[in-house]
Amino acid sequence: MATVRLDQKSRALTRSVPDSYHSALANYFGSGPTDIELARAQHSAYCEAMKASGIEVTVLSADENHPDCIFVEDQAVIIDGHVLLPVPGHPSRVNEQPPIADYLIEKMGGAQICRMSGDARMDGGDILRLGDLFFVGRSSRTNDEGIKELEDLLHHLNYELRIIDIPEGALHLTSIASTPTDNVIIAPEGMLSKDAFGELPEGSEVYWMPIEETYGCNTIGLPGNKVLVAEGYPTVLEKMQELGLESVVLDVSQFRAGDGSLTCCSLFY
Ligand code: CIR
């Protein structure tokens, strides 16, 4: 999940892989999951890697009626203890939300909860946080009405929001960019214009990766100078090393088959 700073990552919510995962939506990176047992093994390794970094991980039970339910990132936007519950941009994913919302409301006692309504649509995967600066992807899942609701929350919290138009070949902003630390963005060359992120705060930088490593640009920075990276993206791995981060490399081929990346499978709260 890309809306919390590194120092706010202590508890993560995830959700098990349903038997129905083979029917997950897959129109971008993947052509559909093929091996549910492998997906489960990869999901367990993902949760274990977070636990090994000191994160308390909760796994909600799968929802067989919602093949995409493992991608919890899309179902809530958590910013400094505030929770925005979006109306997900794909109709088949709307009813994944209630158990996630209930869990967060229970565990984040006192959190301010806002619910999107009307025509507003947003997937949490369209939001990226770089320290105190936020980016939102205007995509096939996130519309202007949704962006306006996020903007209202961020203005209330005194944070700036910048809008990035997501190219047709990509699902979400986090499908093509991540912040392995609070002052680094990695993104693939050629997907976005070089000035897409605008002028960054001093000390922050965008590193452009080869377009063939687009999928690898989704990473999860963790406390203790660690970063989870997908297996198979050497330039990304090298960059993490250069930044002084210890990479934990995970095979997530079955997440990719369902168009999901590392960040999609967790919500830090
Ligand atoms: C979908 O199309 O909604 C899922 N198959 C993949 C969602 C991936 N989530 C994300 O990028 N945040």
What CATH code is assigned to 6-268?
3.75.10.10
CB-based pocket (< 6 A), ligand 1: 24-26, 68, 71, 73-74, 90, 93, 125, 171-172, 174-175, 258-261, 264
Domain ranges of the chain: 6-268
Distance 153 CA to ligand 1 centre (A): 23
Whose alpha carbon is nearest atom 2 of ligand 1? 25
pLDDT of residue 109: 85
Q: Are 189 and 211 in contact (CB under 8 A)?
A: yes
pLDDT at residue 48 greater than cutoff 70: yes
pLDDT of residue 49: 98
Indicate which atom in ligand 1 lies nearest the CA of residue 26: 5
What DSSP string runs through 141-195? Answer: S--HHHHHHHHHHHHHTT-EEEEEEPPTT-S-STTT-EEEETTEEEEEBTTB-TT
Distance 38 CA to ligand 1 centre (A): 18
pLDDT at residue 103 greater than cutoff 80: yes
Indicate which atom in ligand 1 lies nearest the CA of residue 93: 3
Regarding pTM above 0.95, the answer is yes
